[in-house]
């Protein structure tokens, strides 16, 4: 895609003139990436900027800096010019303000929490920086009464428990019709109980490990507190719901909750952990479940499971999200746009869509003798 940055030549009603529209690199781009996919998040953001002709200053997460440094070395070996891809490691509190205040940096790309994204947005205002923001999600899954339950559970297992639920497009709320609720919970909990939580990187580790730990013990305590709060508000733990015995607190058992309602805290915040809250809804209330799914500030990803093509179209169009997976739980693809609406951010990563956000549109009027 880097070889195909398109412009336009426009014929105007005035004789002897032509309008030329060019796409030019925005300039130096600051990129701040998270820890949860330390290589993929870097390549997703940096590739679009480099392809558009921009130089990059990357600040990776202080929790996972080595992936970024290694990727920069590989980029230089592959022919990226010196000075085009720069990595600065350290604490966000020191590096972030330097990027946001610098007049040399003309765009800032940030992937992370909504709260931090808003703060960066405010810091970029004095220099009127362009921004690309991929922020928090709170992805709903709507399972319709006509859905293939096994297919839905396959997709949910991929969308919920991959990386121990530490993904921005993780399935966060499972809306299941009353007529299929018990069957769904039974099958889902059986699959979840079969997961083996452990440290797959340690020498001699049992190869049966299928889910790793959370990033820090503080993250584990946060997930545990979310589950405890849900129980206090009336939810029931079907399986999991506690730290893994004999392990540090960042090892948390994959969990299924039932009896969850829209009013509970766990439905209205991003869990970022291996917890699947199930919300029951009336089979004939499709409008109601659409409203529930949309009734959060975030709008990154959503998932739909139905065998009815009319519902597929209706739900995919009605859901206020930047990405919708229909009968599919793994929606991210390098050739497709990635990004959200509402409080989930600005702009899109991925393929030509990423390049679009790192260029400026210049209009040139060509006059004289043609």
State the Cα–Cα distance between residues 30 and 195, nearest whole angstrom: 39
With CA atoms as reference, report the closest residue to 132 among 29, 4, 1, 23. 29
Q: Which residues sit opposite 211 in a β-bridge?
A: 197
Q: Is a pLDDT exceeding 90 seen at residue 135?
A: yes
Beta-carbon count within 10 A of 95 CB: 17
Q: What is the pLDDT of residue 34?
A: 96
Average pLDDT in the 154-163 region?
Answer: 96
334 vs 123 pLDDT, higher one: 123
Q: What is the pLDDT of residue 46?
A: 95
Average pLDDT in the 206-214 region?
Answer: 85
Q: Using the Cα atoms of residue 137, residue 299, residue 317 and residue 184 in order, give the sign of their dihedral.
A: positive
Burial class (CB in 10 A: 0-12, 13-18, 19+), 128: exposed
With contact defined as beta carbons under 8 Å apart, do 186 and 154 qualify?
no
In which order are the strands placed within the sheet that holds 56-59? 85-87, 56-59, 28-32, 105-111, 130-134, 345-346
**If you compute the radius of gyration of the chain from its CA atoms, what whole number of angstroms results?**
23
State the Cα–Cα distance between residues 213 and 195, nearest whole angstrom: 12
Please state the pTM of the whole predicted model. Answer: 0.92
Q: What is the pLDDT of residue 111?
A: 95
State the Cα–Cα distance between residues 345 and 210, nearest whole angstrom: 31
With contact defined as beta carbons under 8 Å apart, do 29 and 107 qualify?
yes
CA 11, chain centre distance (Å): 42
Angle subtended at Cα 74 by Cα 87 and Cα 353, rounded to the nearest 5 degrees: 75
Q: What is the pLDDT of residue 334?
A: 86
Q: What is the pLDDT of residue 329?
A: 93
Q: Using the Cα atoms of residue 71, residue 61, residue 209 and residue 326 in order, give the sign of their dihedral.
A: negative
With CA atoms as reference, report the closest residue to 169 among 274, 43, 37, 300. 300
**Which of these is catalytic: 24, 62, 134, 183?**
134
Task: Say which range, 131-140, 195-204, 303-312, has the weakest mean pLDDT.
Answer: 195-204
CATH topology of domain 139-326: Aldehyde Dehydrogenase; Chain A, domain 2 (3.40.309)
Q: Is a pLDDT exceeding 70 seen at residue 207?
A: no
Q: What are phi and psi of 2, to 5 degrees?
A: -65, -20
Q: Is a pLDDT exceeding 70 seen at residue 253?
A: yes
Q: Is a pLDDT exceeding 90 seen at residue 167?
A: yes
Q: Is a pLDDT exceeding 90 seen at residue 182?
A: yes
With CA atoms as reference, report the closest residue to 256 among 195, 320, 334, 168. 195
Do the domains 8-135+344-366 and 139-326 sit in the same CATH topology, yes or no? no
Helix axes 65-77, 40-51, angle to 10 degrees: 40
With contact defined as beta carbons under 8 Å apart, do 263 and 254 qualify?
no
* Domain positions in the chain: 8-135+344-366, 139-326
Q: Is a pLDDT exceeding 70 seen at residue 299?
A: yes
Average pLDDT in the 214-222 region?
Answer: 97
Task: Say which range, 119-123, 207-211, 247-251, has the weakest mean pLDDT.
Answer: 207-211
Q: Is a pLDDT exceeding 80 seen at residue 204?
A: no
With contact defined as beta carbons under 8 Å apart, do 88 and 59 qualify?
yes
Average pLDDT in the 183-201 region?
Answer: 94
Q: Name the CATH superfamily, with its identifier, for domain 8-135+344-366.
A: Aldehyde Dehydrogenase; Chain A, domain 1 (3.40.605.10)
Q: What is the pLDDT of residue 370?
A: 55
24 classed as catalytic: no
pLDDT tens digits along 312-359: 999 999 999 999 999 999 999 888 999 999 999 999 998 888 899 999
pLDDT band at 201 (very low <50, low <70, confident <90, very high): confident
pLDDT tens digits along 4-61: 888 999 989 988 899 999 999 999 999 999 999 999 999 999 999 999 999 999 999 9
| E strand or H helix at 341 | strand 341-342
Q: Which residues sit opposite 256 in a β-bridge?
A: 239, 276
The structure tokens listed for 71 are 């990727």
């Amino acid at each position: 895609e880097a070889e195909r940055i398109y412009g336009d030549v426009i014929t105007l009603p005035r004789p002897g003139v032509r309008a030329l529209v060019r796409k030019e690199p925005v300039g130096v781009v600051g990129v701040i990436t998270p820890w949860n996919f330390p290589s993929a998040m870097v390549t997703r953001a940096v590739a679009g900027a480099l392809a558009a002709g921009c130089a990059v200053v990357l600040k990776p997460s202080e929790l996972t800096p080595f992936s970024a440094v290694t990727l920069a070395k590989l980029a230089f070996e592959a022919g990226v010019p010196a000075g085009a891809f720069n990595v600065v490691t350290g604490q966000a509190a020191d590096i972030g303000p330097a990027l946001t205040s610098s007049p040399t940096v003309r765009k800032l790309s940030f992937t992370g929490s909504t709260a931090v994204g808003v703060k960066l947005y405010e810091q970029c205002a004095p220099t009127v920086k362009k921004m690309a923001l991929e922020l928090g999600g709170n992805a709903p899954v709507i399972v319709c009464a006509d859905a293939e339950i096994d297919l839905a559970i396959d997709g949910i297992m991929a969308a919920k428990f991959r990386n121990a639920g530490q993904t921005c497009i993780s399935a966060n709320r499972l809306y299941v019709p009353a007529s299929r609720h018990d069957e769904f919970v039974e099958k889902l909990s059986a699959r979840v109980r079969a997961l083996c939580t452990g440290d797959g990187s340690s020498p001699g580790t049992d190869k049966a490990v299928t889910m790793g730990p959370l990033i820090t013990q503080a993250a584990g305590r946060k997930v545990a507190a979310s589950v405890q709060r849900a129980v206090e508000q009336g939810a029931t733990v079907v399986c999991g719901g506690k730290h893994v015995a004999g392990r540090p607190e960042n090892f948390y058992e994959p969990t299924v909750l039932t009896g969850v309602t829209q009013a509970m805290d766990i439905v209205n915040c991003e869990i970022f952990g291996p917890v699947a809250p199930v919300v029951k809804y009336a089979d004939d209330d499709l409008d109601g479940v659409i409203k529930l799914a949309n009734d959060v500030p975030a709008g990154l990803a959503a998932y739909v499971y139905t065998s009815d093509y009319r519902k597929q179209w209706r739900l995919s169009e009605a859901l206020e999200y930047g990405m919708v997976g229909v009968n599919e739980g793994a929606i991210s693809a390098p050739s497709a746009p990635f990004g959200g609406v509402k409080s989930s951010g600005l702009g899109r990563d991925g393929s030509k869509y990423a390049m679009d956000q790192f260029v400026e549109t210049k209009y040139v009027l060509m006059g004289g003798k043609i």
